[in-house]
Amino acid sequence: MTIGFDFGTANCSVAHFFQQQVQPIPLFNNAPYLLSSLCAPNPETVSEYLFRCQDIRPSTPEGEQVLRRAIKINREEGLDVSNEDLKFGGDALDLYLQDPSDVYYVKSPKSFLGTMGLREVQLSFFEDLVCALMSEIKHRAEDHLQHQVEQAVIGRPINFLGRGGDKSNRQAIGILERAAKRSGFKSVEFQYEPVAAGLDFEASLNNDKHVLVVDIGGGTTDCSMLRMGPSWVGKQDRSNAILAHSGQMVGGNNLDIAIAFKSFMAEFGKETQRKSGLDIPLIQFWNAIAVNDVQAQKQFYLHDNLAVLKQFHKESLQPEKVARLIKLYQEKLSYSVIHQAEQTKIALSESDQHLAQLTVIDETISIPVSKSEMQMAIESSTTKIESLVLEAVAQSGITPDVIYMTGGSSRSTVLRDAVQGLLPNTPMVAGDHFGSVTAGLTRWADTIFK
């Protein structure tokens, strides 16, 4: 059996083609979406879980090294790894929020893909994270379908990071493909996410059009200018239909981090002075919440950085605020802060004001945030998204007949207005914010695996 697989930054979803219709497959509480998250007692649990509980071996010598180290550490800690030790999706988030300091939590393994400058063993561990989540989704799909799933078309962004170019993209695709094969898929193909979203929109067209797909997801924004319509339906060779691509690592995660940095981090000591008259370096506050940046999080959570934070606390004119930053470090609250920023972003898509409630161990901080403040916070990301839209239009040399907006972050009225402002005379159609890519991947899977 064949599926379309959107391995997303914020959510994962899968579907199959049945009776000429795309049928989403429930993954969590009868919903077709699973949060792209997992939670375990420690990092080493993930690698041993794959081997011991799923009978999935590493794909490289470096992966074998990661597994041996994981087994050794878990034995030393007296941890006997079982199926119950890994939680996924909403269950993982709930467990993390109960006690962030007591678990290992990962939001969006996809956001790490393409990171350059890492050792092979680190990349092998990222592959284990991706494999664990993919394997879980595959099992849930098979349980629902009562049929083995062996073929998949998996979505990919135009560029995973924007830094590292083709080398970064090849590294990311390699990890995804190896993880998928280890999970049990026998045949795997990839399709650009904006093209997939366009394929879903194409099913509704009665005549051929030039379509500008703007897919603003959790991790990336991707734009494609496409020839679409009845003349192209069912064709495997669509090379002449793809007129332009642009893409960059700017999406919902970036918006959440920007909101947290602008609106929340003052309560953790940002822009507070030391007795010397100097501010605490801003990099400390950025690294604390940059959950999509492996190196930034590594720098913040270095063992030696705790002594640095304590020295800032000692020197600060507002030590009670810096004390919260130390608690963030000690209790690993980065994802908790970003979760509240995400809730703020969602609330402000429907309202002009929101009162964020940020819990830091034994206190809850109420932080009012206005839509205008959010707009200022995400201005840099908005500008990058506008540039990607203009780049795709310029590459193609064509004014589109229609703009097709999709992706979870395209729900933002701020971003929709920004894109529409660039092409004020072009009609805009909103897709299924979370389901368009999955549906298009499923249609493509039905086309190429027949």
Token pair 């394929």: residue: 199
**Does position 69 have pLDDT exceeding 80, yes or no?**
yes
Identify the pLDDT of residue 343.
95
pLDDT at 280 over 90: yes
CA distance 353 to 333: 25
CA distance 99 to 86: 15
- Chain-centroid distance of CA 270 in Å reads 26
- pLDDT value at 349 more than 90: no
- Domains of the chain, earliest start first: 2-185 (3.30.420.40), 207-431 (3.30.420.40)
For range 255-270, the mean pLDDT: 97
Alpha-carbon distance 16 to 22, whole Å? 6
pLDDT of 164 above 90:
no
Q: What was the pLDDT predicted at 149?
A: 96
Q: Could you tell me which residues come within 8 angstroms of residue 287 by beta carbon, excluding any fewer than 6 positions away?
A: 293, 296, 297, 299, 300
What rounded mean pLDDT belongs to the chain? 94
Give the pLDDT band of residue 161 (cuts 50, 70, 90): confident
Angle of the 89-98 helix axis to the 334-347 helix axis, nearest 10? 120
pLDDT category of residue 116 using cuts at 50, 70 and 90: confident
pLDDT band of 163, cuts 50, 70, 90: low
How is residue 138 written in tokens?
A: 């595959």
pLDDT digits (tens, 9 = 90+) for 356-388: 999 998 899 999 999 999 999 999 999 999 999
- In angstroms, the CA 400 to CA 408 distance is 22
If you write DSSP's letter for every residue of 132-158 in order, what string do you get?
Answer: HHHHHHHHHHHHHHTS---EEEEEE-S
Give CA–CA dist 64/69, Å, rounded: 9
CA atoms of 348 and 367, how far apart (whole Å): 13
What is the rounded CA–CA span in Å between residue 223 and residue 205?
A: 19
pLDDT recorded at residue 162:
61
Q: Is the pLDDT of residue 309 over 80?
A: yes
Residue 47 has pLDDT above 70, yes or no: yes
Phi-psi region of 271 (alpha: psi -120 to 50; beta: other; left: phi over 0): left
Q: pLDDT-based confidence at 19, cuts 50/70/90?
A: confident
